Protein backbone atom coordinates (compact mmCIF):
# COMPACT_ATOMS: atom_id res chain seq x y z
CA UNK A 1 0.00 0.00 0.00
CA UNK A 2 1.33 3.43 -0.84
CA UNK A 3 0.03 6.30 1.27
CA UNK A 4 -1.43 9.50 -0.09
CA UNK A 5 1.22 12.19 0.25
CA UNK A 6 0.02 15.19 2.28
CA UNK A 7 1.73 17.96 0.40
CA UNK A 8 2.13 20.95 2.75
CA UNK A 9 3.61 23.13 0.02
CA UNK A 10 0.52 22.69 -2.19
CA UNK A 11 -1.92 23.16 0.70
CA UNK A 12 -0.03 26.30 1.78
CA UNK A 13 -0.51 27.76 -1.72
CA UNK A 14 -4.24 26.96 -1.59
CA UNK A 15 -4.62 28.76 1.77
CA UNK A 16 -2.45 31.73 0.80
CA UNK A 17 -4.63 32.26 -2.28
CA UNK A 18 -7.74 32.23 -0.07
CA UNK A 19 -6.15 34.77 2.30
CA UNK A 20 -5.02 36.96 -0.61
CA UNK A 21 -8.57 37.05 -2.01
CA UNK A 22 -10.05 37.90 1.40
CA UNK A 23 -7.50 40.68 1.98
CA UNK A 24 -8.42 42.19 -1.38
CA UNK A 25 -12.13 42.05 -0.60
CA UNK A 26 -11.73 43.61 2.87
CA UNK A 27 -9.55 46.35 1.43
CA UNK A 28 -12.23 47.19 -1.14
CA UNK A 29 -15.11 47.10 1.34
CA UNK A 30 -13.48 48.50 4.49
CA UNK A 31 -10.33 50.28 3.27
CA UNK A 32 -8.16 48.25 5.69
CA UNK A 33 -5.47 45.59 5.36
CA UNK A 34 -4.07 43.32 8.10
CA UNK A 35 -1.05 44.84 9.85
CA UNK A 36 1.74 42.60 11.13
CA UNK A 37 4.88 43.65 12.98
CA UNK A 38 7.77 41.21 13.31
CA UNK A 39 10.22 42.08 16.08
CA UNK A 40 13.64 40.52 15.67
CA UNK A 41 16.18 40.87 18.48
CA UNK A 42 19.80 40.22 17.48
CA UNK A 43 21.05 38.37 14.42
CA UNK A 44 20.59 34.65 15.08
CA UNK A 45 20.79 33.27 11.49
CA UNK A 46 17.83 30.87 11.92
CA UNK A 47 15.68 33.69 13.35
CA UNK A 48 16.72 36.06 10.56
CA UNK A 49 15.68 33.50 7.94
CA UNK A 50 12.31 32.77 9.64
CA UNK A 51 11.57 36.49 9.93
CA UNK A 52 12.55 37.09 6.31
CA UNK A 53 10.10 34.39 5.19
CA UNK A 54 7.33 35.86 7.35
CA UNK A 55 7.92 39.32 5.93
CA UNK A 56 7.98 38.04 2.34
CA UNK A 57 4.72 36.15 2.88
CA UNK A 58 3.00 39.15 4.52
CA UNK A 59 4.19 41.35 1.66
CA UNK A 60 2.90 38.93 -0.99
CA UNK A 61 -0.53 38.89 0.68
CA UNK A 62 -0.80 42.68 0.63
CA UNK A 63 -0.48 43.10 4.42
CA UNK A 64 0.84 46.24 6.02
CA UNK A 65 4.06 44.76 7.36
CA UNK A 66 6.52 46.37 9.72
CA UNK A 67 9.93 44.86 10.25
CA UNK A 68 11.40 46.00 13.55
CA UNK A 69 14.97 44.76 14.05
CA UNK A 70 16.56 45.50 17.42
CA UNK A 71 20.14 45.00 18.58
CA UNK A 72 20.89 41.85 20.59
CA UNK A 73 21.74 43.96 23.65
CA UNK A 74 18.40 45.81 23.79
CA UNK A 75 17.22 45.99 27.42
CA UNK A 76 14.15 44.07 28.56
CA UNK A 77 12.57 47.39 29.54
CA UNK A 78 13.11 48.87 26.06
CA UNK A 79 11.65 45.75 24.40
CA UNK A 80 8.58 45.88 26.65
CA UNK A 81 8.15 49.56 25.77
CA UNK A 82 8.32 48.68 22.07
CA UNK A 83 5.60 46.05 22.49
CA UNK A 84 3.47 48.60 24.32
CA UNK A 85 3.88 50.96 21.36
CA UNK A 86 2.60 48.29 18.94
CA UNK A 87 -0.19 47.28 21.32
CA UNK A 88 -1.47 50.87 20.94
CA UNK A 89 -0.87 51.11 17.19
CA UNK A 90 -4.21 50.93 15.35
CA UNK A 91 -2.63 49.84 12.07
CA UNK A 92 -1.13 46.72 13.71
CA UNK A 93 -3.34 43.64 14.17
CA UNK A 94 -0.62 41.11 14.92
CA UNK A 95 2.59 41.32 16.95
CA UNK A 96 5.17 38.64 16.45
CA UNK A 97 8.29 38.52 18.60
CA UNK A 98 10.73 36.05 17.06
CA UNK A 99 11.88 33.50 19.65
CA UNK A 100 14.29 32.60 21.14
CA UNK A 101 15.27 35.91 22.75
CA UNK A 102 18.74 36.64 24.18
CA UNK A 103 19.29 35.19 27.67
CA UNK A 104 19.11 38.54 29.52
CA UNK A 105 15.45 38.94 28.45
CA UNK A 106 12.64 37.05 30.19
CA UNK A 107 10.62 35.49 27.34
CA UNK A 108 7.58 34.94 29.52
CA UNK A 109 7.44 38.64 30.46
CA UNK A 110 7.67 39.59 26.79
CA UNK A 111 4.91 37.18 25.69
CA UNK A 112 2.70 38.34 28.55
CA UNK A 113 3.18 41.98 27.51
CA UNK A 114 1.60 41.43 24.08
CA UNK A 115 -2.06 42.42 23.87
CA UNK A 116 -3.83 38.99 23.73
CA UNK A 117 -5.99 40.37 20.90
CA UNK A 118 -2.81 40.93 18.83
CA UNK A 119 -1.02 37.74 19.95
CA UNK A 120 -1.16 36.00 16.56
CA UNK A 121 1.34 33.35 17.71
CA UNK A 122 -1.25 32.26 20.29
CA UNK A 123 1.32 31.91 23.10
CA UNK A 124 -0.16 34.42 25.60
CA UNK A 125 -1.73 32.65 28.63
CA UNK A 126 -5.09 34.26 27.77
CA UNK A 127 -5.00 32.62 24.34
CA UNK A 128 -3.86 29.31 25.82
CA UNK A 129 -6.94 29.51 28.08
CA UNK A 130 -9.18 30.41 25.13
CA UNK A 131 -7.82 27.36 23.27
CA UNK A 132 -8.58 25.12 26.24
CA UNK A 133 -12.18 26.39 26.45
CA UNK A 134 -12.55 26.06 22.66
CA UNK A 135 -15.58 26.86 20.51
CA UNK A 136 -16.21 30.54 19.95
CA UNK A 137 -13.70 31.39 22.71
CA UNK A 138 -10.80 30.26 20.53
CA UNK A 139 -9.16 33.26 18.94
CA UNK A 140 -5.62 32.45 17.77
CA UNK A 141 -4.70 28.77 17.65
CA UNK A 142 -0.90 28.45 17.79
CA UNK A 143 0.41 28.30 14.24
CA UNK A 144 2.02 24.85 13.96
CA UNK A 145 -0.94 23.00 15.56
CA UNK A 146 -3.35 25.05 13.43
CA UNK A 147 -1.35 23.99 10.36
CA UNK A 148 -1.51 20.34 11.41
CA UNK A 149 -5.30 20.51 11.78
CA UNK A 150 -5.65 22.17 8.34
CA UNK A 151 -3.55 19.40 6.75
CA UNK A 152 -5.77 16.73 8.29
CA UNK A 153 -9.02 18.46 7.32
CA UNK A 154 -7.93 19.32 3.77
CA UNK A 155 -6.77 15.73 3.21
CA UNK A 156 -10.35 14.66 3.95
CA UNK A 157 -9.44 12.49 6.95
CA UNK A 158 -12.39 11.85 9.30
CA UNK A 159 -11.53 13.22 12.75
CA UNK A 160 -14.85 12.76 14.54
CA UNK A 161 -14.60 9.67 16.72
CA UNK A 162 -11.07 8.97 15.49
CA UNK A 163 -8.36 7.74 17.86
CA UNK A 164 -5.74 10.48 17.80
CA UNK A 165 -2.36 9.82 19.40
CA UNK A 166 -0.01 12.76 19.88
CA UNK A 167 3.64 12.02 20.65
CA UNK A 168 5.18 14.95 22.56
CA UNK A 169 3.76 17.40 25.09
CA UNK A 170 5.50 20.69 24.29
CA UNK A 171 3.60 23.93 24.80
CA UNK A 172 4.02 24.89 21.14
CA UNK A 173 2.95 21.63 19.45
CA UNK A 174 1.93 18.58 21.51
CA UNK A 175 -0.33 20.09 24.18
CA UNK A 176 -2.16 22.54 21.92
CA UNK A 177 -2.82 20.06 19.06
CA UNK A 178 -4.07 17.47 21.56
CA UNK A 179 -6.43 20.08 22.97
CA UNK A 180 -7.63 21.18 19.55
CA UNK A 181 -8.40 17.63 18.41
CA UNK A 182 -10.56 16.88 21.44
CA UNK A 183 -12.83 19.91 21.06
CA UNK A 184 -16.33 19.52 19.67
CA UNK A 185 -16.69 20.58 16.05
CA UNK A 186 -15.26 20.31 12.56
CA UNK A 187 -11.77 18.86 12.19
CA UNK A 188 -11.84 17.62 15.78
CA UNK A 189 -14.20 15.66 18.09
CA UNK A 190 -11.54 12.96 18.40
CA UNK A 191 -10.54 10.68 21.25
CA UNK A 192 -7.08 11.90 22.16
CA UNK A 193 -4.11 10.25 23.86
CA UNK A 194 -1.00 12.30 24.61
CA UNK A 195 2.22 10.32 25.06
CA UNK A 196 5.70 11.39 26.20
CA UNK A 197 8.90 10.03 27.75
CA UNK A 198 6.99 8.94 30.86
CA UNK A 199 4.61 6.74 28.79
CA UNK A 200 4.97 3.01 29.45
CA UNK A 201 3.90 1.52 26.13
CA UNK A 202 4.62 4.06 23.41
CA UNK A 203 4.39 1.44 20.66
CA UNK A 204 1.03 0.11 21.89
CA UNK A 205 -0.50 3.59 21.93
CA UNK A 206 0.84 4.47 18.47
CA UNK A 207 -0.55 1.20 17.04
CA UNK A 208 -4.10 2.25 18.03
CA UNK A 209 -3.96 5.60 16.27
CA UNK A 210 -6.20 6.43 13.34
CA UNK A 211 -4.37 9.75 13.29
CA UNK A 212 -0.81 9.74 14.59
CA UNK A 213 0.79 13.14 15.24
CA UNK A 214 4.46 12.93 16.11
CA UNK A 215 6.30 15.93 17.58
CA UNK A 216 9.20 14.51 19.58
CA UNK A 217 12.30 15.78 17.78
CA UNK A 218 13.82 12.27 17.64
CA UNK A 219 14.70 11.10 14.11
CA UNK A 220 13.00 7.82 13.20
CA UNK A 221 11.42 7.41 16.66
CA UNK A 222 8.22 5.93 15.22
CA UNK A 223 8.88 2.58 13.57
CA UNK A 224 6.79 1.46 10.58
CA UNK A 225 5.37 -1.50 12.54
CA UNK A 226 3.90 1.00 15.08
CA UNK A 227 1.60 2.41 12.39
CA UNK A 228 -1.95 1.13 12.02
CA UNK A 229 -2.58 0.23 8.36
CA UNK A 230 -4.41 3.11 6.69
CA UNK A 231 -3.67 5.65 9.46
CA UNK A 232 -3.05 9.33 8.81
CA UNK A 233 0.50 10.14 9.94
CA UNK A 234 1.54 13.72 10.63
CA UNK A 235 5.27 14.01 11.19
CA UNK A 236 6.10 17.33 12.84
CA UNK A 237 9.74 16.48 13.60
CA UNK A 238 12.48 18.39 11.85
CA UNK A 239 15.84 16.85 12.64
CA UNK A 240 19.17 17.79 11.08
CA UNK A 241 20.97 14.52 10.46
CA UNK A 242 23.82 15.73 8.27
CA UNK A 243 24.75 18.03 5.40
CA UNK A 244 24.77 17.78 1.62
CA UNK A 245 25.53 20.00 -1.36
CA UNK A 246 22.36 21.44 -2.90
CA UNK A 247 21.93 20.55 -6.58
CA UNK A 248 20.17 23.89 -7.15
CA UNK A 249 22.59 26.30 -5.43
CA UNK A 250 25.79 24.28 -5.05
CA UNK A 251 25.84 25.33 -1.38
CA UNK A 252 25.90 23.17 1.76
CA UNK A 253 22.40 22.48 3.13
CA UNK A 254 21.14 20.43 6.06
CA UNK A 255 19.77 16.92 5.50
CA UNK A 256 16.43 16.86 7.32
CA UNK A 257 14.61 13.82 8.71
CA UNK A 258 11.32 13.53 10.52
CA UNK A 259 10.40 11.56 13.63
CA UNK A 260 8.89 8.81 11.45
CA UNK A 261 10.73 6.43 9.12
CA UNK A 262 9.01 7.90 6.05
CA UNK A 263 10.07 5.42 3.34
CA UNK A 264 8.80 2.40 5.25
CA UNK A 265 5.81 4.19 6.85
CA UNK A 266 4.37 5.31 3.50
CA UNK A 267 3.82 1.65 2.59
CA UNK A 268 1.54 1.19 5.62
CA UNK A 269 -0.14 4.56 6.30
CA UNK A 270 -3.22 5.81 4.44
CA UNK A 271 -1.81 9.34 4.24
CA UNK A 272 1.45 10.84 5.46
CA UNK A 273 3.36 14.13 5.55
CA UNK A 274 6.91 14.23 4.17
CA UNK A 275 9.78 16.03 5.92
CA UNK A 276 10.50 18.58 4.61
CA UNK A 277 7.39 19.78 2.76
CA UNK A 278 4.65 18.60 5.13
CA UNK A 279 3.93 20.52 8.33
CA UNK A 280 6.82 22.98 7.86
CA UNK A 281 5.24 25.19 5.16
CA UNK A 282 2.02 25.51 7.19
CA UNK A 283 3.29 27.44 10.23
CA UNK A 284 3.87 30.84 8.59
CA UNK A 285 0.66 30.39 6.58
CA UNK A 286 -1.36 30.04 9.79
CA UNK A 287 0.37 33.11 11.24
CA UNK A 288 -1.00 35.05 8.27
CA UNK A 289 -4.45 33.53 8.80
CA UNK A 290 -4.39 34.58 12.47
CA UNK A 291 -3.36 38.14 11.53
CA UNK A 292 -6.21 38.35 9.03
CA UNK A 293 -8.58 37.02 11.68
CA UNK A 294 -7.39 39.69 14.13
CA UNK A 295 -8.38 42.41 11.64
CA UNK A 296 -11.71 40.70 10.92
CA UNK A 297 -12.52 40.55 14.64
CA UNK A 298 -11.70 44.23 14.94
CA UNK A 299 -13.97 45.06 12.00
CA UNK A 300 -16.73 42.83 13.41
CA UNK A 301 -16.74 40.53 10.35
CA UNK A 302 -15.02 37.43 11.77
P1 LIG B 1 10.18 19.71 22.50
O2 LIG B 1 9.80 20.94 23.19
O3 LIG B 1 11.60 19.23 22.58
O4 LIG B 1 9.22 18.53 22.98
C5 LIG B 1 9.42 17.21 22.58
C6 LIG B 1 8.39 16.34 23.23
O7 LIG B 1 8.57 15.01 22.75
C8 LIG B 1 8.51 16.28 24.75
O9 LIG B 1 7.23 16.36 25.33
C10 LIG B 1 9.16 14.93 25.01
O11 LIG B 1 8.69 14.30 26.19
C12 LIG B 1 8.66 14.10 23.84
N13 LIG B 1 9.64 13.06 23.52
C14 LIG B 1 10.94 13.21 23.22
N15 LIG B 1 11.51 12.00 23.04
C16 LIG B 1 10.55 11.08 23.25
C17 LIG B 1 10.53 9.66 23.25
N18 LIG B 1 11.63 8.94 22.98
N19 LIG B 1 9.37 9.05 23.54
C20 LIG B 1 8.26 9.74 23.82
N21 LIG B 1 8.21 11.10 23.86
C22 LIG B 1 9.35 11.77 23.57
O23 LIG B 1 9.90 19.78 20.93
P24 LIG B 1 8.82 20.65 20.07
O25 LIG B 1 9.18 22.07 20.13
O26 LIG B 1 7.45 20.20 20.36
O27 LIG B 1 9.23 20.11 18.61
C28 LIG B 1 9.14 18.75 18.26
C29 LIG B 1 9.69 18.56 16.86
O30 LIG B 1 8.88 19.28 15.96
C31 LIG B 1 11.11 19.09 16.65
O32 LIG B 1 11.78 18.26 15.74
C33 LIG B 1 10.90 20.44 16.06
O34 LIG B 1 11.98 20.87 15.27
C35 LIG B 1 9.68 20.21 15.23
N36 LIG B 1 8.86 21.41 15.00
C37 LIG B 1 8.51 21.68 13.71
C38 LIG B 1 7.73 22.79 13.45
C39 LIG B 1 7.36 23.09 12.03
O40 LIG B 1 7.56 22.31 11.15
N41 LIG B 1 6.77 24.19 11.72
C42 LIG B 1 7.32 23.63 14.48
C43 LIG B 1 7.64 23.30 15.78
C44 LIG B 1 8.42 22.18 16.03
P45 LIG B 1 8.97 14.87 27.68
O46 LIG B 1 8.03 16.02 27.85
O47 LIG B 1 8.62 13.73 28.54
O48 LIG B 1 10.40 15.28 27.70
**Digit-coded pLDDT (tens) for 222-276:** 999 999 999 999 999 999 999 999 988 999 999 999 999 999 999 999 999 999 9
Rounded Cα–Cα distance for residues 148 and 154 (Å): 10
CB under 8 Å to 82, separation ≥6 — which residues? 39, 68, 70
What's residue 248's pLDDT?
A: 87
Annotated catalytic, 252?
A: no
Q: Enumerate residues lining ligand 1, CB below 6 A.
A: 144, 167-170, 172-174, 195-198, 202, 215-218, 221, 236-239, 279-280, 283
For residue 102, name the pLDDT band (cuts at 50, 70, 90). very high
The pLDDT of residue 1 is above 80? no
| Residue 220: C-alpha distances to residues 185, 227, 260 (Å) | 32, 13, 5
Residue 65: beta bridge partners?
Answer: 36
Q: What is the mean pLDDT of the chain?
A: 97
- Selecting among 98, 139, 183, 210, the annotated active-site residue is 98
Q: What is the pLDDT of residues 19-46, one digit of tens each?
A: 999 999 999 999 999 999 999 999 999 9
Q: What is the pLDDT of residues 166-211, one digit of tens each?
A: 999 999 999 999 999 999 999 999 999 999 999 999 999 999 999 9
Q: Indicate the pTM of the whole model.
A: 0.97
The pLDDT of residue 287 is above 70? yes
- Could you tell me where the beta strands, DSSP code E, fall in the chain? 4-5, 35-41, 64-70, 94-97, 163-167, 191-195, 211-214, 232-235, 239-245, 252-257, 271-272
Percentage of the chain with pLDDT > 70?
Answer: 100
Annotated catalytic, 54?
A: yes
| Residue 291: C-alpha distances to residues 54, 58, 87, 129, 175 (Å) | 12, 10, 14, 19, 22
Sign of the four-CA dihedral 122, 125, 131, 137: negative
The minimum-distance atom of ligand 1 relative to the CA of 196 is: 21
Other beta carbons within 10 angstroms of residue 3's beta carbon come to: 20
Amino acid sequence: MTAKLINGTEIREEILKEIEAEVKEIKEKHGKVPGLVTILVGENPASVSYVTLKIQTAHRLGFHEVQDSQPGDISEEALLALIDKYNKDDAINGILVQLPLPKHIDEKKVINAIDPDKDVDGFHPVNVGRLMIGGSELKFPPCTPAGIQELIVRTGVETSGAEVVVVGRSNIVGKPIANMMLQKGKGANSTVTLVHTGTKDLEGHCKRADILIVAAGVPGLVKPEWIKPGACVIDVGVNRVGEKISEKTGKKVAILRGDVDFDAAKEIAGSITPVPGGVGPMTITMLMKNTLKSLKVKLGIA
